[in-house]
Amino acid sequence: MRAKKTASHIRQEQIVEAALDIIATEGLHALSIAGIAKRVGIVSSALYRHYNGKEEVLDAVLVFIRKRLMSNVDHVVKETRDPLQRLKRILMRHARMLDENRAIPHVVFSDWIYTGHPERKAKVADIITGYLGIIREIIKEGKNDGTIRPDTDTEAASVMFLGMILPAAVLSNVSEGRFDMVKHAENAWPIFVRCIAKI
């Protein structure tokens, strides 16, 4: 009896997750169609039914990262209307996400993923600038409702917010997880909020 086929979208998710696992444990240079297929438990030819090659898999990884970031933001927006609480919850969600997905900083910071691929470089830039745009809007909301100081430089504060997350993710990676980025986010938040909150 033939095994039941896995739905295409589920198989695509499995392929992306396998690619992320390889990137996290072995680095981008180790990523290969054969390696991904082995992790998923399929033959290489079956993987080509979903992606034309490693480059398409890498593009799918970027789509995954964007979706996870936006999903975190969407959840937080539904949870609270308070701008400072939104920023704190986004920070903690993203710290946990990067702690659980150590491949993401490899992808975001690696020249290898987009060298010779201006479209992919633009996608990475778009993810980061889109994220910063959301943070800027939340800061503006806080300035409007009086919870954030009106003299706060929105652009600088949004980049500082990002700075609480990405360097910590790099430290976590280079220390092989010994640097606790979730605890770092918890400790960094009061410092950040003292800089921007209206007392």
CATH T-level topology, domain 61-196: Tetracycline Repressor; domain 2 (1.10.357)
Say what the pLDDT of residue 143 is: 97
Number of H helices, E strands in the chain: 11, 0
Q: Which two tokens stand for residue 75?
A: 């959840």
C-alpha–C-alpha distance, residues 179 and 170, integer Å = 9
pLDDT < 50 positions in the chain:
1-4
Supply the pLDDT for residue 1: 32
The pLDDT of residue 5 is 58
pTM of the shown model: 0.87
Q: What is the pLDDT of residues 14-65, one digit of tens each?
A: 999 999 999 988 888 889 999 999 999 999 999 999 999 998 999 999 999 9
The mean of the pLDDT values for the chain is: 90
* Buried-state track 97-135, b at ≥16 Cβ within 10 A, e below 16: bbbebbbbbbbbeeeebbeeeeebeebbeebeeebeebb
Share of the chain above pLDDT 70, in %: 96
Max Cα separation, the chain? 69
- Model pLDDT, residue 112: 73
